[in-house]
Amino acid sequence: FQAEDGIRDRSPSRGLGDVYKRQEFMNTKFKKGMKTRKAVLGANYLNAVKKNITKFDKKFQQFITEYVWENVWSNDNLTKRERSIITLAILASQGNLDEFKLHLKACKNTKTSPSDIMEVMMHVAVYAGIPRANSAIKLIKEELKGWK
């Protein structure tokens, strides 16, 4: 049986009620993920993403929302500020600068300060290399011009 969310139910003992409960669970995960995604990245960014979703990437956007934003960013084990710090370090270390810029902008929403961000870059420089940190710092300096 193929559920509406595209997840195949291979259990022959499950009835439609189980499938609907699964869909309801996934809808709840999606809604919670969207709420967190909006709080971190901002309504303007999220509206632009929604506007640009196509049939091609709809499933991927659902995956990101449910697993990244609901499972990881929505739990209370770390603060949003701590998650921002970790995310910046990972993205800068890997040289994923487009995604880095997105999460850098989100720092305003997660109460991650410029001094927090510089401390992250010091760690990136030591553990991932000065060129990676230097590339990220150029983007940070540009972004901080718009901060008040």
Max CA-CA distance within the chain? 59
Can you give the pLDDT of all 148 residues of the chain as single tens digits?
A: 344 555 554 545 555 555 556 566 568 889 999 999 999 999 999 999 999 999 999 999 999 999 999 999 999 999 999 999 999 999 999 999 999 999 999 999 999 999 999 999 999 999 999 999 999 999 999 999 999 7
Q: Is 100 exposed, middle or buried (0-12, 13-18, 19+ CB in 10 A)?
A: buried
Contacts of 89 (CB under 8 A, 6+ apart): 120, 123, 124
Q: Which long-range contacts (CB under 8 A, 24 or more apart) does 135-139 make?
A: 135/92, 135/95, 135/97, 136/88, 136/92, 136/97, 136/100, 139/97, 139/100, 139/101, 139/104
Q: How far apart are the first and last CA of the chain?
A: 54
